[in-house]
Amino acid sequence: MTRRLLPALVVLVALGGPSPGQAIETHAGSVVNSLGMRMVLVPAGSFRMGSPPGEPLRQDEESPRRVTLSRAFRIAATEVTQKQWLALMPANRSPRQGDDLPVTSVSWKEAQEFCLELSRKEGATYRLPTEAEWEYACRAGSAEPAIGRAGLESVAWYADDSEETAHPVGLKKPNAWGLFDMLGNAAEWTQDAYGAYPRVEEDKDPTGPAAGSAKVVRGGSWRSFVPAVRCAARAGTPESYQLPHVGLRVVLEVE
């Protein structure tokens, strides 16, 4: 598999990536778009969202329930980089600047604008992940709780190892589905308004409260301590805030 993949990636690099609107098939059903984003295919399925009582580091708001996602989707292997952001947007306010660093200091509304512009460019539907999609992708088929300090340092830039700054995307180990920096580096906006989870045993394709000016941010960041750098951890942030540690990762809807 690797021997077949490497020549294709070398060609993409040499040519500067695919032309606008062209998706290049790579391994495991992923595609690369015209901005060089590798969009990983995530299958439909069910998982336990939230955390059970007694799990270490959990917060009361993480009420567990069985969630089914009925449609497959593609999610970016990395957070949106500053180079990718500037290909479509007029300004980059990230406190540490660099092409391969995650873009941060963007509001939820600006993240929505980026998704709209990317959708127009690619002729496809890009958006932020729902909170459920984000956690499903983060867990990558695992029901395990926090991965522990030693494991965390292998996959995440967080308060204990980041030197209080963001780092280029994709330097740590990916999760089981090939997604980098789901925990740490930049925290990530999701589509959902922030609110309490419904008190139900099972849920299907949840999209959060119908309205709300605070939106859910997931994953923790380079400035977060261990309790916030977990698949189940969540935070609510006003949609207008432009925080130096919050960026985004995009989803591509599967037709």
- The CA distance from 142 to 136, in Å, is 9
DSSP character for 29?
A: T
Q: What is the pLDDT of residue 146?
A: 53
Q: What is the pLDDT of residue 4?
A: 32
Cβ atoms of 215 and 194 within 8 Å: the answer is: yes
Q: What is the pLDDT of residue 27?
A: 44
In degrees and rounded to multiples of 5, residue 236 shows phi and psi of: -105, 130
pTM of the model: 0.89
- The CA distance from 173 to 151, in Å, is 10
Place of tokens 């308004």: 193
Q: What is the pLDDT of residue 8?
A: 32
- The CA distance from 165 to 79, in Å, is 15
Percent of the chain with pLDDT over 70: 87
DSSP character for 136?
A: H
Q: What is the pLDDT of residue 113?
A: 98
Which is nearest to 248 in space by CA: 113, 51, 68, 70? 113
Which is nearest to 214 in space by CA: 243, 188, 194? 194
Question: For 123-140, b where at least 16 C-beta lie within 10 A, e where not — what string?
Answer: ebebbbbbbbbbbbbbbb
- The CA distance from 3 to 5, in Å, is 6
3-state secondary structure (DSSP) of residue 13: helix
Tell me how many degrees the CA angle 109-114-118 measures, rounded to the nearest 5.
150
Q: What is the pLDDT of residue 16?
A: 35
pLDDT-flagged residues of the chain (< 70): 1-28, 145-150
Domains and CATH numbers, the chain: 44-68+80-253 (3.90.1580.10)
Q: What is the pLDDT of residue 21?
A: 38
30: Cβ–Cβ under 8 A, 6 or more apart, which residues? 38, 39, 40, 41, 74, 77, 178
- The CA distance from 140 to 162, in Å, is 24
3-state secondary structure (DSSP) of residue 70: coil
CB atoms within 10 A of CB 195: 15
